[in-house]
Amino acid sequence: MSRIAKKPISIPEKTTVNYAGGVITVKGSLGEIKKVFRPEIKIEVVNNEISLTPVRNSLDVLALWGTYASHIRNMLEGVNKAFEKKLIVEGIGFKSDVKGNQLHLAVGFSHPVQIEIPAGLKVIADKNVITVTGIDIETVGQFVAKVRSVKKPEPYKGKGIRYNDETIRRKQGKKSV
């Protein structure tokens, strides 16, 4: 049983929510998000509140219950206040640059790495900090994880691309005799 999904979700002001045919649409001041939900969870929008109830009591449906509640909360938060994640590029000669709808990274390879920026995301590259903002938390998180996977931070010198709040456990390295 999900404690998160038992409570009704309140809809903030200046936000509209529509549910029809398994698709929930959330519109706010920053944009619109649509997401498809399976029919095992009954979603009702009444009196500026969203309530979710499972259709049957199986283990997979109860797991979806809390997941769907979290997705809806993230959608409501995203259309009112954009999600933001920051990456730090660390290393000598490592740099990042945004050109058009591509992120160009020079991170120690023989060639620059180019990553396509998905629609709906705003990417800013200042010196060694990459800032990604968007209304969909899943798109922001997926893009940031993709950029980080290009050159993960290594434990000896800390070179690579890391999250803003991530700490790297450093290793000592070789000792000379």
Q: What is the domain class of 3-78 according to CATH?
A: alpha beta
Pairing mode, strands 95-99 and 83-90: unpaired
Q: Tell me: the pLDDT tens digits for 102-161?
A: 999 999 999 999 999 999 999 999 989 999 999 999 999 999 999 999 999 999 988 999
Q: Tell me: the pLDDT tens digits for 83-96?
A: 999 999 999 999 99
The segment(s) of the chain belonging to CATH 3.90.930.12 are: 3-78, 83-163
Catalogue the E-assigned strands of the chain. Answer: 9-10, 16-20, 23-27, 32-36, 41-46, 49-54, 83-90, 95-99, 102-106, 113-116, 121-126, 129-134, 160-163
Q: Tell me: the pLDDT tens digits for 64-83?
A: 999 999 999 999 999 999 99
Give residue 172's pLDDT. Answer: 87
Q: Is the pLDDT of residue 177 over 80?
A: no
Please provide the CATH number assigned to the domain covering 83-163: 3.90.930.12
